Chains A and B, each alone.
Chain A
Amino acid sequence: MSHCHGCSIQINIPEGARRIVLAGNPNAGKSVFFNYLTGMYVDVSNYPGTTLEISHGRYKGDVVIDTPGVYGISSFNDEERVARDVILSADMVINVVNAVYLERDLFLTQQIIDTGVPVLVALNMVDEAARQGLHVDHQLLSQLLGVPVIPTVAVKKQGLEEVKQQLWQSRRGHADELLQQELDKLLSKVSNPGEALLILEGDAAVAERHGLQPLDRREEIYLQRRQRVNQLVGQVVKDSSKTASLTNSLSRMMIKPLTGIPILLLALYAMYQIIGVFVAGTVVGLTEETIMIGHFEPAIRSLVGSFISEESIPGTILIGEFGVLTMTFTYVFGLLMPLVMGFYFFLSLFEDSGYLPRLATLVDRLLTSIGLNGRAVIPLILGLGCVTMATITTRLLGSERERRIAIFLLGLTIPCSAQLGVIAGMLAAVGPEFVALYTLVILSVLVVTGTLMNTLLSGQSSNLLIDLPPLRFPRLPNVLTKTGIKSYQFLKEAFPLFALGALIISVFQVSGILTLLQNSLAPLTVGWLGLPKEAATAFIMGLIRRDFGAAGLADMPLTSIQTVVSLTTITLFVPCIASILVMFKERTKKEAAIMWLSTWVIAFFIGGIVAQLSQWLGVSTPLEVVSVIGAVLALAAITVLSARFLKKSQLPRSSRSKEVA
């Protein structure tokens, strides 16, 4: 039936169970309510047609469903589409609002009330509001909205029991009267008042479900709702605060380049110390070397070896060098998991403290020049941990165009932590001028490729429009839960891909394709890159795991410039096989294939340019190396400038065509 809006979510609703839906703005504290109601047993299901995951669990005989944090329910993005559908199918909604930001949060509250679903409002963070000199009269608010309002401090478990007890006191609130009259006219065609509302608000997707044209009344309705909310807030909030606090000036310092960049560097340094030194060294040493290679692999080899010989073809595939049962587990659990958890820990810390949106604001200018906006800083930093993980995270970007740029840049220019370790070790053996050469070449490729994609790809990237929540001290339980959930989701998503990757490579090895590739690459490595013939092996190894490739080079006797050329090439060379598989999963096959082939071409092209330039200009003195750096930067600048020029000369044409249209 056409009205079955909620059935697109794969949730089993038992006979007679009611749907309790949690809704609220981002960071309102919904998750605490969700966990309080459902306890430990939570299911996560993917919402069809989107990349969002929806948590749901049981409360007594009923089902509790979480929704993504949104500021309103329309079709502005995937989060809203999902929240909309879940809310429209609800038997009741627990709307969690932040007492500090009532003006913003009550907009969603009023919109949900206008859909006609029974609502209970949890007025959260009343302690924080009190600290800021805000007093909210919750009884008056309840009277004006027409639904129960319960003051809570969710993180301290205050008021949660009352929410539980009054759950079924929830009722339909006071909807806007004029709006109600409009809705009544529609109700002959659309039986669900919530859907009627959204059609009136111009939601094309909902209108289509009923075979209707969306009505374009959105702005009018929004303005009325905004007015009503402002009035409400004026009546119920008493403000006796002094503005400008310490957090406010810290917030400013994070945004302004002069202070924001040092703060960012400090944060990155802390990340490097903890993830790069402690996790990658000490923890991985234990998990990968001692536990996985020392104990797990011998155990699994002897177990499988008692059925199949290790030298046989199935033996090689299962427990050989790249074995599905050996390499996959060692790599994922021994090496990646500790690193990924470290990165997600920092990400959660940044997220919980409110630093991320400020970081996005700080770097927005830089990223707009490569066709992204400030938000893209998240996947780019995560890429330094694991490119596979970062590629999945690009889902948070605003448009397909941005995802395309970000995924390609991640695959091409961002070395993952496993690879960084080996690279850092090899660079330690060459002079600082060579380190500078390597770093600047990679950065130039990032900037040039981004600029070129921004110029050549059609369409426009979305602009930054981001809410800056108050800075607060991160809460450890919150941070740990987030780290746990994200790491688990990464594992669930990436593990099968790593296994598939190991399988593909083992098959290559057994069938001799690996040797064939190695031989056919040899002319390129010797003639064009000026490297020893064996370097080809390292590149092929890089197909599997990026650090394998780099590690293969570490064993070779290379001159300083050969080190730089080979590291440049291996960094830009195709991402590891799991990243490639994620790329194919996230993009169309054609697009992923183009990206994959491009990384081959670009890696050898850039590596070759560095090799040829250094032959031509010489690298025997530091000054000569600096001249190579200069030449590389000049080439990059010329490319960027001509791309800019090209774009400028295109712009007037496109704006003219708009006028004609």
Chain B
Amino acid sequence: MTLDRIKRGQSFKISHILNDTVRSQAIRFGIAEGEWLTCEEVVPAGPIVIRKNRQQIALGRQLAKEINISLN
């Protein structure tokens, strides 16, 4: 599934990020493909906030649609 369908509090693993630039930027934030993260917050119809340790990142909804994740 894609990241925009995540629910608050769920943990997930990033399986693929479509956009090249976003993929590289995410690696810098420590969000590489294969990493386990938690969904911190979902703004209704808006951005998804994800967390890894203390690092929190807000991603626009459209971007979240382009990120494939798995829940287990």
Binding site for B on A (CB under 8 A): 71-72, 74, 76, 100-101, 103-104, 107-108, 132, 218-219, 222-223, 226, 229-230, 251-252, 255-257, 357, 360-362, 364-365, 368, 373-374, 463-468, 470
Contacts and interface: CB of A to CB of B under 8 A. Distances in A.
B57 A466 contact: yes
Contacts of B45: 365
Interface in B23-66: 23-25, 27-30, 32, 40-41, 43-47, 49, 52-63
B54 A365 contact: no
B71 interface: no
B29 to A, nearest CB: 6
Interface residues of B, number: 31
B1 interface: no
B31 to A, nearest CB: 9
A255 B28 contact: no
A132 B55 CA distance: 13
A223 B32 contact: yes
Contact of B56 (A103, A360, A365, A468): A468
Contact of A103 (B22, B43, B55, B63): B55
B57 A368 contact: no
B30 A226 contact: yes
Given A219-B24, A360-B58, A374-B47, A465 B63 contact: yes
Contacts of B62: 368, 463
B8 to A, nearest CB: 9
B60 to A, nearest CB: 4
B21 interface: yes
Query: Main SS of chain A's interface residues?
Result: helix
Given A72-B28, A222-B24, A101 B43 contact: no
Interface of B: 20-25, 27-30, 32, 40-41, 43-47, 49, 52-63
Contacts of B52: 103
B47 A222 contact: no
**Lowest 4 A-B CB distances belong to which pairs?**
A365-B46, A464-B60, A463-B60, A463-B63
Contacts of B58: 255, 357, 360-361, 364, 374, 464-466, 468
Given A101-B55, A368-B62, A467 B24 contact: no
Contacts of B55: 101, 103-104, 467
Given A218-B24, A255-B41, A361-B49, A463 B59 contact: yes
A390 B47 CA distance: 25
Given A104-B28, A368-B62, A374-B60, A361 B43 contact: yes
Contacts of B25: 71-72, 76, 465
A104 B28 CA distance: 6
A361 B41 CA distance: 11
Contacts of A222: 24, 27-28
A464 B49 contact: no
A71 B28 contact: yes
30 contacts: A72-B25, A74-B24, A100-B54, A101-B55, A104-B55, A107-B28, A218-B24, A223-B27, A223-B32, A229-B30, A252-B40, A256-B43, A257-B44, A361-B58, A362-B46, A364-B47, A364-B61, A368-B61, A373-B60, A374-B58, A374-B60, A463-B22, A463-B59, A463-B60, A464-B58, A464-B60, A465-B25, A467-B56, A467-B57, A468-B49
